[in-house]
Structures are given as structure tokens and as C-alpha cells.
Amino acid sequence: MRNMKTVICPGSFDPVTNGHLDIIRRSSKLFDKVIVVVMKNPSKTNFCFSPEERAELISRCIADFDNVEVDIYEGLLADYAKMKNAVAVVNGLRAVSDFEYEFQQAQMNKKLNENLETVFINTRVENLYLSSSAVKQICELGGDISDFVPETICKDIVERIKRGVSK
């Protein structure tokens, strides 16, 4: 029996977008097990959804993915990967600016956990411009976000952002 290859797709996912789901879906076809982990990002403070709410929204979106699970973690990603016996972190890349940041993170994670690799998956062209921040801003200004987020959670996102509730 071969070793099962577990990877982690980390992010803040506030909210999860179609771009995130595309990377998760494609990862699930490449690896045996994918853990989508809602991470605490110290540089981001203005969240619309609590970590538990974000995990629940993601869970609803991946209900039909057999080899994907969702978790929440507040520590170092390198430590989480060790705990879960993950072989790699999977990150989606939209632009060169994403690569610069993610490359630095990958190098730090490798220093903290020498067995941890990082796999970059290029985003599809239709998601190049897509970010959680852009989705929130469009929604706050009354725009239609239905093309940018999964249908299963679109109403939840719109209701939260229109209420202006921060968690």
C-alpha cells in the first residue's frame, strides 16, 4: 500500500470564491487528501465572517468532494502540516505579485518544516481578477457577486455584507 499524499490549501477565505474552489477542486484531482484550512492572518483584521463561519461556508461548497475536508488553525502553517502529515501546501497564483508573497512564505515554511513542499497552481483566466476583497467591495457597493462566489453561499455572503456585520 502506498503512502497517502495529503496537502493543505490554506487561506483566510473571507469569503470563499469560485477561484478558491477551482484551486481546491484541481488539487483534489492531483492528491489523495486535501485539507482546506482557514488560517488566522495577522495582517488582515476586518473580517466579515468568523473562522467558524468561513469553515462552514467552505464545507457547504465542497460537500460533493470525497477527499476534501475543512479545518481551522491559528498557529504556524508549517506546524499544522507536521500535525497532519501533509507533504505539501497548495497555493493558487493569479499574478506575479501573488508569486512574490507566496514564494517568501514557501521559503519560510520550508525552513520551519524541511519536509514540506509548496505547489503552485495557476489560476484559470476567468479568475485572474478575483479576490475575496474585490467580492466584498462589489457587494458593499450593491453590485452582483453571483458570478464570483458559489451559488450555495451567495445569499449568505450578500446578507452578511449588506448588514455590515463584522466578526
Four-residue CA torsion sign, 100, 104, 105, 110: positive
* Residue 2 pLDDT greater than 70, yes or no: no
The model's pLDDT over 77-90, given as tens digits with 9 standing for 90+, comes to 999 999 999 999 99
Q: Which of 31-35, 50-54, 126-130 has the lowest mean pLDDT?
A: 126-130
Q: Which residues are catalytic?
A: 20, 44, 94, 132
- What predicted TM-score, i.e. pTM, was given to this entire model? 0.92
CATH fold for the domain made of 6-163 = Rossmann fold (3.40.50)
How much is the pLDDT for 28?
Answer: 97
Q: Which residues pair with 68 in a beta bridge?
A: 34
Mean pLDDT of the chain: 92
135, pLDDT greater than 90: yes
Q: Where are the domains of the chain?
A: 6-163
User: Span 114-141, mean pLDDT?
Assistant: 93
Is the separation of the CB atoms in 127 and 94 below 8 Å? Answer: yes
